[in-house]
Amino acid sequence: MSFLAKTHHPRSWGRYPSVAPAEVQAVYWRSEIPDLADFEHPLLPFAYGRSYGDSCLNEGGVSLDVSHLRRFISFDENEGLLCCEAGVSLAEILELVVPRGWFIPVSPGTKFVSVGGAIANDVHGKNHHKAGTFGCHVTRFELLRSHGERLICSPYENPQLFQATIGGLGLTGVILWAEFRLKPIVNSFIDMERIQFSSLDEFMQISAETDRKYEYTMSWVDILIGGQNLCRGIFMCGNNDQSKSRAAQKPGKKLPLAIPFDFPSFVLNTLTVKSFNELCYHTQFSKRVHKVVPYEPFFYPLDSIHNWNRMYGSRGFLQYQFVVPFEDGFAAMKEIIDRIRRSGEGSFLTVLKTFGTIQSPGMLSFPRPGITLALDFAYGGRKTLQLLDELDKVVRQSGGAVYPAKDARMSAENFQAFFPRWQEFAQYVDPHFSSSFWRRVSHTNKLVTV
């Protein structure tokens, strides 16, 4: 149990950049939202700040804290249809629905994100190849625009705003509540397999072989090994366990660990990353391990350490997630891995996955068929930024994209190439809304004062 309230100073998960809004305005009730058109500065909703970079930040603007809109509205237990306010976290939803035989349709690697955030970044999970993004499961939501209209958006009502808001980075208005479909489960356990691989080729092979059989797949990889193999790692795949007898079994509750202060910056460097990777890779002694595990450590291994982002110290860090299409993807992946290795910047947690072909309704949705890699880099100033610019170039040449939810630095030019529908999207941006990210990538560098 945590007694301490969260501080209201909006920060993103990477703690870079550290920029302040002119004002933080908390919203407590759907029926009592201040008139948005009255604010002098542009607005941006902020929920739990689990975005890494600046897409949830609004320097010099108004940060609308929507995390208090966290009430359930209705739950049809027969149909698995849940309706709740947009600030409800996936953690609270799981706590409610898992004991009743339901699961969230798509989950990112942390459960401490809000429904509004999951829609605004159209988040993906380990089951992208089977289920698409979170937005694929949303049936409707209510959107508050700055002029006071409250619009129900669905594939049938206001369909354009529906598509713009899914993956719309909080720029189309405030999502007040949303309704979405859950997925039925027999029990809360995951029947999983862990497979060691020692090259990118082998990863692709295992991926092709397991994608059909398994609902959830992802790999932890070490890309610092060098040589022709490019990477080694552990492939994790699983399905919801089907045994009825396990339904009554409760997974033990472990208290989360917390990192109470920023680590000094020297703690994480290439050397420590290498030893960490070495340790992870070798803790698995046999090639394949098969187990039935509770869902939490399978989906949210990082959530067991609260504020793990503070390990990077006060300088913060940058996440970098990109996707490259399957065709030519291998060459791009090789080049990117080589460049990172040569740069001497280590990535502590590197995750490799394939995206499937299910299309999201979202105009700016990031996932597309291909291979995706997520890395993090301690912020080392110009050197780090330069490396990432170089990587952008490779991603762009291969026809891929970089994930805005994790970005703090991509150029307008690259963004516009990665998201060719951005101008179509821009028509639906609320005139009173903006973000640090949006000002950068849409080339309206000045703060719009309204």
Partner 1 sequence: MMIVGATSAIAHETAKCFAKDGAEFFLVARSPQKLADIGNDLKVRGAQRIETYVLDVTELERHQEMIETAITTLDGLDMVLIAHGTLGDQQKCQRSVAETLKEFTTNCTSVISLLTILADYFEQQKRGCITVISSVAGDRGRQSNYVYGAAKGALSVFLQGLRNRLSKSGVAVVTVKPGLIDTPMTAAVKKGLLAASAKGVGEGIYRAMKSRKEVVYLPWFWRPIMLIIRTIPEPVFKRLSM
> Least distance from C-beta 34 to partner 1, angstroms?
12
- Interface with ligand FAD, residue 124, by CB under 6 A: yes
> Least distance from C-beta 141 to ligand FAD, angstroms?
9
Angle at 77 between CA 75 and CA 81, to 5 degrees: 55
- Interface with partner 1, residue 26, by CB under 8 A: yes
Cβ-closest position to ligand FAD: 170
Partner in contact with 21, chosen from partner 1, ligand FAD, none, beta carbon below 5 to 8 Å by kind = none
Partner in contact with 73, chosen from partner 1, ligand FAD, none, beta carbon below 5 to 8 Å by kind = partner 1
Q: Give the closest residue to 342 by CA, choosing from 282, 383, 397.
A: 383
Partner in contact with 43, chosen from ligand FAD, partner 1, none, beta carbon below 5 to 8 Å by kind = none
153, two tokens = 């958006």
> Least distance from C-beta 42 to partner 1, angstroms?
22
The residue from 84, 113, 336, 394 that contacts ligand FAD (CB under 6 A) is: 113
- Interface with ligand FAD, residue 363, by CB under 6 A: no
- Interface with ligand FAD, residue 360, by CB under 6 A: no
Mask of contacts with partner 1, 373-392, x by CB under 8 A? --------------------
Residues in contact with 65: Cβ distance below 8 Å, sequence separation at least 6, in sequence order:
8, 10, 24, 25, 26, 27, 46
60, two tokens = 């010099």
How many residues contact partner 1, by CB under 8 A?
21
Residues in contact with 13: Cβ distance below 8 Å, sequence separation at least 6, in sequence order:
49, 50, 51, 52, 309, 319
Instruction: Please give the torsion angle defined by the CA atoms of residues 414, 136, 176 and 49, in that order, rounded to the nearest 10 degrees.
Output: -50
372, two tokens = 């995706």
Mask of contacts with partner 1, 64-103, x by CB under 8 A? ----x--xxxxx--------x-----------x-------
29 versus 326: smaller Cβ distance to partner 1: 29
> Least distance from C-beta 188 to partner 1, angstroms?
17
The residue from 21, 53, 61, 109 that contacts ligand FAD (CB under 6 A) is: 109
Map the footprint of partner 1 across residues 336-375, applying CB under 8 A: none
- Interface with ligand FAD, residue 114, by CB under 6 A: yes
Based on C-alpha coordinates, what's the Rg of the chain?
21
> Least distance from C-beta 405 to ligand FAD, angstroms?
4
Specify whether the CB–CB gap between 406 and 321 falls below 8 A.
yes
- Interface with partner 1, residue 6, by CB under 8 A: yes
The residue from 16, 39, 48, 355 that contacts ligand FAD (CB under 6 A) is: 48
Alpha carbon of residue 417 to chain centroid = 21
- Interface with ligand FAD, residue 47, by CB under 6 A: yes
Buried b (16+ CB within 10 A) or exposed e, 111-131: bbbbbbbbbbbbbbbbbbbbb
* Dist. CA 413–CA 428, nearest whole Å: 20
- Interface with ligand FAD, residue 66, by CB under 6 A: yes
- Interface with ligand FAD, residue 33, by CB under 6 A: no
* Dist. CA 91–CA 46, nearest whole Å: 17
Q: Give the closest residue to 197 by CA, choosing from 210, 183, 215.
A: 210
> Least distance from C-beta 323 to ligand FAD, angstroms?
11
Residues in contact with 440: Cβ distance below 8 Å, sequence separation at least 6, in sequence order:
54, 410, 411, 412
Mask of contacts with ligand FAD, 148-177, x by CB under 6 A? ---------------------xx---xx--
Partner in contact with 55, chosen from ligand FAD, partner 1, none, beta carbon below 5 to 8 Å by kind = ligand FAD
- Long-range contacts formed by 20-26: CB under 8 A, 24+ apart: 20/59, 20/60, 21/57, 21/58, 21/59, 21/60, 21/61, 21/62, 21/63, 22/60, 22/61, 22/62, 23/61, 23/62, 23/63, 24/62, 24/63, 24/65, 25/62, 25/63, 25/64, 25/65, 26/65, 26/68
Q: Give the closest residue to 394 by CA, choosing from 419, 420, 414.
A: 414
Interface residue list for ligand FAD (CB under 6 A): 13, 44-51, 55-56, 66, 86, 108-110, 113-114, 116-118, 120-121, 123-125, 169-170, 174-175, 302, 405
Interface residue list for partner 1 (CB under 8 A): 1-8, 26, 28-31, 68, 71-75, 84, 96
